[in-house]
Amino acid sequence: MSRKIAFIGLGIMGGPMAANLVKAGHHVTGFNLTQPPIDALVAAGGHGATGVADAVRDAEVVITMVPADPQVEEVILGEDGVLENARPGTLVIDMSSITPQTSVRVEAAAGQKGIRTLDAPVSGGEAGAVEAVLSIMAGGAAEDFAEAKPLFDVLGSTVVHVGPAGAGQTVKAANQLIVATNIQVLAEAVVFLENAGVDLRAALDVLAGGLAGSTVLGRKKANMLEREFAPGFRIDLHHKDMGIVTDAARAVGAALPVGAVVAQLVASARANGDGSLDHSALLRGVERLSGR
């Protein structure tokens, strides 16, 4: 069934996700702070809007994919935002990675207007968005998840309802802890291997085939070998996510001893000017610590 979808935030992730929904036959109207991604969506067969209000007015489903809590608050809760302009009964799906508390607050505010919400953050990176093989972890009411599932199936290959509002964000926070820690130790292994004079490409190939192999190694190997650090996933965004997981873990009394160190290393990468690079550039921090 073709749906009328408003898609807000057409960046590295939102751009290809919106295009995939168009390709699947949906009527997608996009809005972004800058114009080029809107033009790209129109060129792909979608429609452009002049603002959030314009995008959501006739929508059955609204999807948001913006950087962080402040943008979600502005776009959904803010003046002339989604809740002020969407029709009652609209399903609003926030796919950004934000704090679980904000997702819960959004659900409550939307409920006052008869608008339903899901928090449905994703994992899989730009490649996962382009190839429509994202992992999607959704929080919210089971019947709203069931309604959204056909759209999620367009965007991803692993789609799971993980609990009530906020639960999707909690799972995403755990995802970000695991990914940053993996990248950090991969970077440490790379510097160790290079300093030891071992052929790095051969070493990473054989490591990928054993128990040390992982999606992170497979995906980030090329970045580290070629020293190609264009994002991908910006260190600034991972810094935001390490803050989310640190706060969320503290709130439930879970200790993150290694995660705390990794959060510091991500913060240090940012302080050293690497915030707009891909998170594989954590390698540069290990090199700095190793006197390179």
Q: Does 61 bind ligand NAD (CB under 6 A)?
A: no
Question: How far is 152 from 165, CA to CA, in rounded Å?
Answer: 17
Assign 39 to helix, strand or coil.
helix
- Length of the chain in terms of residues written: 292
Find the shortest distance in angstroms from Cβ 284 to ligand NAD.
Answer: 18
Nearer to ligand NAD, 125 or 166 (CB): 125
From the list 243, 265, 220, 222, the residue with the least C-alpha distance to 125 is: 220
Binding to ligand NAD by residue 97, rule CB under 6 A?
Answer: yes
Please list the residues that pair with 139 across neighbouring strands: 119, 163
Strand intervals (E) in 68-130: 91-94, 116-119, 122-123
Segment contacting ligand NAD by CB under 6 A, of 8-16, 160-168, 178-186, 195-203: 8-16
Burial profile 92-116: b = 16 or more Cβ within 10 angstroms, e = fewer: bbbbbbbbbebbbbbbeebeeeebb
**Piece of the chain touching ligand NAD by CB under 6 A; list 86-94, 153-161, 210-218, 230-238:** 230-238
Q: Which residue has the tokens 């796919």?
A: 95
- 19 lies in the site for ligand NAD, by CB under 6 A: no
220 is catalytic: no
20 touches ligand NAD (CB under 6 A)? no
Among 6, 20, 26, 37, binds ligand NAD (CB under 6 A): 37
**Beta carbon nearer to ligand NAD, 155 or 191:** 155
138 beta partners:
161
Q: Does 71 bind ligand NAD (CB under 6 A)?
A: yes
Enumerate binding residues for ligand NAD (CB under 6 A): 8-14, 31-34, 37, 65-68, 71, 74-75, 96-97, 122-123, 125-126, 232-233, 237
Which residues are annotated as catalytic? 172
